[in-house]
Amino acid sequence: MELLRAVVLLSLALLANGRDTDLSRDSFPKGFVFGTASSAYQVEGNSLKYGRGPCIWDTFLKFPGATPDNATANVTVDEYHRYMDDVDSMVRVGFDAYRFSISWSRIFRNGIGRFNKDGVDYYHRLIDYMLANNITPYVVLYHYDLPEVLNNQYNGWLSPKVVPDFMAFADFCFKTYGNRVKNWFTINEPRMMAWHGYGDGFFAPGRCTGCRFGGNSATEPYIAGHHLILAHAAAVQVYRDKYQRRQNGTIGILLDFVWYEPLTYTVEDEYATHRAREFTLGWYMHPITFGHYPETMRKLVGSRLPNFTAEQSKLVQGSADIIGVNHYTTYYVRHHENLTHMSYATDWQAELLFERNGVPIGRQVTILKSHHQRNKGWARICDSCMNTLHSGVLEVAVRGALGVLQGGDAREEQVQGPLDPHRREWDRPVGQRHATHALYDTFRIDYFDQYLHELKRAIADGARVTGYFAWSLLDNFEWRMGFTSKFGLVYVDRKTFTRYPKDSTRWFRKVIKSEEY
Ligand SMILES: *[C@@H]1O[C@H](CO)[C@@H](O)[C@H](O)[C@H]1NC(C)=O
Ligand SMILES: *[C@@H]1O[C@H](CO)[C@@H](O)[C@H](O)[C@H]1NC(C)=O
Ligand SMILES: *[C@@H]1O[C@H](CO)[C@@H](O)[C@H](O)[C@H]1NC(C)=O
Ligand SMILES: *[C@@H]1O[C@H](CO)[C@@H](O)[C@H](O)[C@H]1NC(C)=O
Ligand SMILES: *[C@@H]1O[C@H](CO)[C@@H](O)[C@H](O)[C@H]1NC(C)=O
């Protein structure tokens, strides 16, 4: 068995090394940016050190069994101390940019008030070191990590009080770093925050109908989503009013773009597909473009969907210079009504599927299957809620990229600004003992190759795409998956924190620098 595995690994290695690509910088428009991405909580570690206050994830992860092996992000890959190594890796591959997020509770322990000098200085060091090495910073202000204090004080995103607090944090960051940071994103994936934080309890703060931390899946996701939009718009307004002219940067938001195709070409499934697009992308894109929620959502959610006042609507409309596209996968959609549960997940009356007539939509990548089998699923925070996205499979369906960038039947929703895909990566669990195996990431290379070809087609078709950010530079703390999901271009030894570049880094170097590996 071991021998067989060794032979298989060897052939994979040969395959990867022999792999060629016809892609290069010349395949993309002049100035096209290649980068990688991360988020503060997933890579920094030192979660309660150097004056940082706790965020909602620190509390949420104390729930026993929240992650495989009870993993926490207390240390994760220690980028707080090893940022120079990581920037050096980017330079070696030839990347132009790095997208990272700022931990709100590292800057303001209590969400507001006095700033924490150690935290502020950390981002000064990181930004300066990046710039000294020609790596352009793309900075995200919020990536799932609300200061715990604000959750205790007023229920975080459920209260309108979060809007001025986020605005003050954003203002501080523009003032402090904006002389060097020219690319800002306010919030990463507000839908994930609203849905998993308040709709199915899968993410911190773990709320849903029937959840042990309380909640209401029928109303809270929409309330949290509303405040996320208002906080985003308020931060954009501060940037535009006080800093943009002087600092000459751009600001936008990162949205998770899922592409949907009808399972059958019947009126029912076509309409269900439309609803799925509206409830996923339209929830955020529609207000940013038109100042109000999509008609479909207003009709189906009714009085549970908050309204924008005339003043808020004006603030929200047009509140992005750029849209970051985090694209995960593509699903088939079937009309399906769930009359027993009222929640964000059932309001669209749609069922998401990975197969049509037994044919998968793309290559399957199993997430956490072995963990599932061993632990019989995650310790559940709630028995009635669905953990649909993360308990099944993620499928590689690159054709969704084209649909997403062309806007499909949501064409009228395209923003006035270049699209900027910060793309998610496929996922393959690798045990620590299989480190060498992890380095031969042929599948990942295939994925990047297909994806970049698809992107090239979309650009030829007229999509205004300014860059491509691979998720992620490092194998890091993947939220509820702990350290079992490996999205990185670089493998990290969890004992020594030594970084080992995978074959995909060499593939990228070939594309970006036209250098042989
Ligand atoms: C991680 O930090 C939390 C505090 O947020 C603490 O309760 C926990 O014991 C720490 N876990 C480990 C494994 O160090
Ligand atoms: C996780 O923590 C819980 C409670 O402390 C414990 O019962 C369980 O065995 C731990 N799981 C693992 C895999 O260590
Ligand atoms: C502002 O930025 C643009 C591109 O980002 C650049 O072309 C322009 O020269 C800059 N203007 C100033 C005043 O720095
Ligand atoms: C929003 O406005 C519509 C139309 O004016 C109204 O029917 C609906 O009840 C309002 N929703 C809320 C949550 O106030
Ligand atoms: C309705 O949704 C609930 C939870 O969201 C789920 O457990 C149940 O199986 C669904 N029922 C149908 C008929 O889809």
CA atoms within 13 A on the CB side of 413: 23
What's the pLDDT at 437? 60
Specify the pTM: 0.87
Name 446's Cβ contacts closer than 8 Å, sequence gap at least 6.
Answer: none
Residue 455 lies in a domain: yes
% of the chain beyond a pLDDT of 70: 81
Closest atom of ligand 2 to CA, residue 68 = 13
What's the pLDDT at 434? 43
Instruction: Provide, for the chain, the percentages of residues in helix, strand and coil under a 3-state DSSP scheme, each rounded to the nearest 5.
Output: 45, 15, 35
CA atoms within 13 A on the CB side of 339: 0
Lowest model confidence (mean pLDDT) among 167-171, 266-270, 371-375:
371-375
- Per-residue pLDDT band for 231 (boundaries 50, 70, 90) equals very high
Q: Which residue has the higher pLDDT, 55 or 20?
A: 55
What's the pLDDT at 6? 32
Domain total in the chain? 1
Mutate to test the pocket of ligand 5, among 339, 341, 342 (most ligand atoms within 8 A of CB): 341
Q: How far is the CA of 190 from the centre of ligand 5 (A)?
A: 24
Q: Beta 393-396 vs 363-366: how paired, if at all?
A: antiparallel
Q: Inform me whether the pLDDT recorded for 423 exceeds 50.
A: no
Q: Inform me whether the pLDDT recorded for 12 exceeds 60.
A: no
Average pLDDT, the chain: 83
Q: How far is the CA of 321 from the centre of ligand 3 (A)?
A: 15
Q: What is the pLDDT of residues 118-172, one digit of tens each?
A: 999 999 999 999 999 999 999 999 999 999 999 999 999 999 999 999 999 999 9
Q: Inform me whether the pLDDT recorded for 408 exceeds 50.
A: no
Lowest model confidence (mean pLDDT) among 56-60, 252-256, 275-279, 485-489:
485-489
Q: Inform me whether the pLDDT recorded for 392 exceeds 70.
A: no
Q: How far is the CA of 265 from the centre of ligand 4 (A)?
A: 34
Q: What is the pLDDT of residues 18-54, one digit of tens each?
A: 457 899 999 999 999 999 999 999 999 998 899 999 9
Mutate to test the pocket of ligand 1, among 48, 62, 74 (most ligand atoms within 8 A of CB): 74
**Which class for 3: exposed (0-12), middle (13-18), buried (19 or more C-beta within 10 A)?**
exposed
Lowest model confidence (mean pLDDT) among 70-84, 292-306, 455-469:
455-469
What's the pLDDT at 208? 97
Residue 177 lies in a domain: yes
Quick check: CB of 387 below 6 Å from ligand 5? no
Q: How far is the CA of 496 from the centre of ligand 1 (A)?
A: 19
Quick check: CB of 39 below 6 Å from ligand 5? no
% of the chain beyond a pLDDT of 90: 66
Q: How far is the CA of 62 from the centre of ligand 5 (A)?
A: 28
Quick check: CB of 209 below 6 Å from ligand 5? no
Closest atom of ligand 5 to CA, residue 336 = 14
Show the domain range for 194: 25-513
Q: How far is the CA of 304 from the centre of ligand 5 (A)?
A: 20
Residue 230 lies in a domain: yes
Q: How far is the CA of 303 from the centre of ligand 4 (A)?
A: 6
Quick check: CB of 375 below 6 Å from ligand 2? no
- Per-residue pLDDT band for 363 (boundaries 50, 70, 90) equals low
> Atom 10 of ligand 4 has which residue's CA nearest to it?
303
Tokens of 334: 């079937």
Q: How far apart are CA 253 and CA 384, in angstroms?
A: 32
Q: How far apart are CA 33 and CA 475, in angstroms?
A: 22
Residue 361 lies in a domain: yes
CB 371 within 8 A of CB 431: no
Residue 370 lies in a domain: yes
What's the pLDDT at 160? 98
With H, G, I as helix, E, B as strand and everything else as coil, classify residue 63: coil
Residue 8 lies in a domain: no
Q: Inform me whether the pLDDT recorded for 322 exceeds 60.
A: yes
CA atoms within 13 A on the CB side of 337: 4
CB 385 within 8 A of CB 201: yes
Q: Which of 258, 37, 55 has the alpha carbon at shortest distance from 144? A: 55
Q: Inform me whether the pLDDT recorded for 330 exceeds 50.
A: yes
Q: How far is the CA of 61 from the centre of ligand 1 (A)?
A: 9
* Average pLDDT of the segment spanning 326-353: 92
Q: What is the CATH number of the domain that holds 206?
A: 3.20.20.80
Residue 1 lies in a domain: no
Q: Which residue has the higher pLDDT, 378 or 118?
A: 118
Closest atom of ligand 4 to CA, residue 304 = 13
Tokens of 164: 């001025």
First to last CA, the chain: 31
Residue 334 lies in a domain: yes
Q: Which ligand is nearest to the CA of 56?
A: 1
